[in-house]
Structure 1
Amino acid sequence: MPPGLDLVAVSMLAGGPASMDTAGKTLLTFACASMVGTGLVLLSTTRKILRAALFQAVPPALALFGLGLAG
């Protein structure tokens, strides 16, 4: 996934028509879910990189939680 994709999604959420809002939420949800997935893969591979896996998975998981609360 390109590194700037999250910024595009956040900018879509910042303003614009309703379709842009939906597209932004979809893009942000997909990007965060894939980051949580990669953190879980890191965690399941070896326990030696637990800290890296947590740094990879926890912030996007919190973002997904926030998106869920925002509705």
Structure 2
Amino acid sequence: MTSDEFFQKLSANDILSNSIKFNVIFIDGLHLAQQADRDIKNAIKYIKNDGFIVVHDCNPPSEWHARGCH
């Protein structure tokens, strides 16, 4: 299933529990900025406070942009 389908089913409690929090979420957004952005926004809802979101195929313009601060 696509990541959009996964997050939709997760939020509806159709798979797993929508209260689950993950340690690591890996995102590979089909090489499309819009998909990666959507996946990151969805992943933030399900990541533990000390968890990691790993994004593949991104090209931040500098180390400052890649730092991942919120």
Name the TM-score, length of structure 1 as normaliser.
0.35
Q: Which has the higher strand share?
A: 2
Name the TM-score, length of structure 2 as normaliser.
0.36
The structure number with the bigger radius of gyration is 1
